Amino acid sequence: MNNYRVNKNTSSNPNGDNEVHKDTCRHYNELLNYESLGTHSSCSSAVSLANRNGYKADGCKNCIPECNKG
């Protein structure tokens, strides 16, 4: 189980996605404008919640590459 956050800032993402990061990601503590997604057993669950909350969510290519669409 990991804690996840979705980045509200899309300016650093060339696709305009809101990236989802897990708590062990090196970028996790750098996120200043984020929404906590809570604890999930998989990244797909966290990304799905972010999408249901109105974000254009994608997984971070570094910490959850299995949920990154590119």
Residue 44 per-residue DSSP state = H
pTM of the model: 0.90
Tens place of pLDDT for every residue, the chain, 70 residues? 999 999 998 887 888 899 999 988 988 777 788 999 999 999 999 999 999 999 999 999 999 999 999 7
String of DSSP letters for 6-66: EES--TT-TT--EEEEETTSTTGGG-SSEEEEEEESSHHHHHHHHHHTT--EEE-TTT-GG
